[in-house]
Amino acid sequence: MALLEIQNITRMFGGVCALNGVNFSVEQGKIHGLIGPNGAGKTTLLNILSGMTPPTSGNILFSGKNIHMLPACRVASLGMARTFQNIRLFPAMTCIENVIAGQHLIASRPLLPRLLQLPSAWRQDHEYEEDAMATLSRVGLENRAQVRAQSLSYGERRRLEIARALASRPRLLLLDEPVAGMRHGEVSQVAELVRILAGEGMTVFLIEHNMSFVMALCSRITVLNFGQVITTGSPDTVSRHPHVIEAYLGVDKSS
């Protein structure tokens, strides 16, 4: 079953056509990759999916519901979480505070019991804090919980951003270049995490330039070039597609 259907999406920026009639769907519970050279329109597509940019035309169906007109916060509340290519953390907050902030959609934290000093409020805080700690351990940052996000290394920042996205327990996780700039050890750690998440039933849609990462992880891959889909298929079919070898793999020899 398709969790996400992208139907005829076009996006113009002035005279520039960033996306041109994009069509494909993302299957429930699968890891779906999106590859293509810089400027192909990958991030633009992710922005449209998450409601940050409206499409010029076309439809997006998320579990059958048309979402292309909804604002980002409504899309998120339907169960979609994302990370950003140019990492957007809450720099002055600690790691655990970033994750706690990310629980917005699942944690009510009502004001009244707090004003009345009811124990239920503190109990709730404690539960959510433990939940945030568990989420931090999933990305291997449990020892950095009290460190401010701005003091983290580059790879740690990317991992914290994934943890913050996971905090709301999304059904669909969108990752924009999740392992860009990471060391080899960290890359396999993230690959392992994505595999586990998919095993738990989460759908993951990711953009990545690291070809061995994409080929090893994804069950389906869509190739985008100049705003158009070249092909969608299994890693095998995609890597044998002549246009793909020419447009993409020819340049980047499987890093």
Partner 1 sequence: MDLHHIFTQFYAVYGSLINFIGINSLLAISLYVTLSAGQLSLGNAAFAGIGGYTAGILTMYLNVPYMVALCAATLMSGAVAVVLGFPVLRLRGVFLAIATLAFGEVVRILAINLQITGGAEGLTPIPNKTQAWMIFTALALVGYFMAVLRRSRIGWSFASIREDETAAKAMGINTTWYKTLAFTIGAMIAGLAGAMSAHLNYIITPGEFGFSAAVQLLIYNIVGGTRIWYGPVLGAALLTALPEILRGIGVSAGPVRMGVNGFILLMVILFLPNGLVSLFSRRKD
Ligand X SMILES: Nc1ncnc2c1ncn2[C@@H]1O[C@H](COP(=O)(O)OP(=O)(O)O)[C@@H](O)[C@H]1O
Q: Which residues bind partner 1 (CB under 8 A)?
A: 50, 52, 71-73, 76-77, 81-82, 84, 88-93, 100-102, 104-105, 107-111, 114-115, 125, 148, 164-165, 168
Q: Which of 164, 146, 155 is nearest to 89 (CA)?
A: 164
Residue 225 as a binder of ligand X (CB under 6 A): the answer is no
Structure tokens at 174: 């969108």
CA distances from 140 to 147, 158, 163 (A): 14, 12, 10
Smaller CB separation from partner 1, 54 or 110: 110
CB of 96 to Mg ion, least distance (A): 29
Nearer to partner 1, 93 or 180 (CB): 93
E strands of the chain, at which residues?
Answer: 2-13, 16-27, 31-35, 57-62, 65-66, 80-82, 172-176, 203-207, 220-225, 228-233
**In angstroms, what is the minimal distance from the CB of 229 to ligand X?**
13
d(CA 202, CA 30): 8
User: Is residue 62 helix, strand or coil?
Assistant: strand
36 vs 79 by CB, closer to Mg ion: 36
107 binds, among ligand X, partner 1, Mg ion, none (CB under 5 to 8 A by kind): partner 1
User: Of ligand X, partner 1, Mg ion, none, which one does residue 1 interact with (CB within 5 to 8 Å by kind)?
Assistant: none
Min dist CB 215 to partner 1, Å, is: 28
65-66 sheet: strands from edge to edge: 16-27, 2-13, 57-62, 65-66
Q: How far apart are CA 208 and CA 43, in angstroms?
A: 11
What is the amino acid identity at position 110?
P
Residue list 9-68, contact with ligand X (CB under 6 A): 13, 16, 18, 36, 38-44
Number of residues forming the site for ligand X (CB under 6 A)? 11
| Minimum distance of partner 1 from residue 77's CB (angstroms) | 5
Identity of the residue, 27 or 125, whose beta carbon is nearer to partner 1 in the bound complex: 125
The answer for residues whose C-beta is within 8 angstroms of residue 3's C-beta and 6 or more apart is 26, 27, 28, 29, 62, 63, 171, 172, 203
**99 close to 120: Cβ distance less than 8 angstroms:** no
**Interaction partner, residue 99 (partner 1, Mg ion, ligand X, none; CB < 5-8 Å by kind):** none
CB of 142 to partner 1, least distance (A): 19
Q: Tokens for 121?
A: 């409020």
Which positions touch Mg ion (CB under 5 A)?
A: 42-43, 85
Q: What residues between 148 and 187 interact with ligand X by CB under 6 A?
A: none
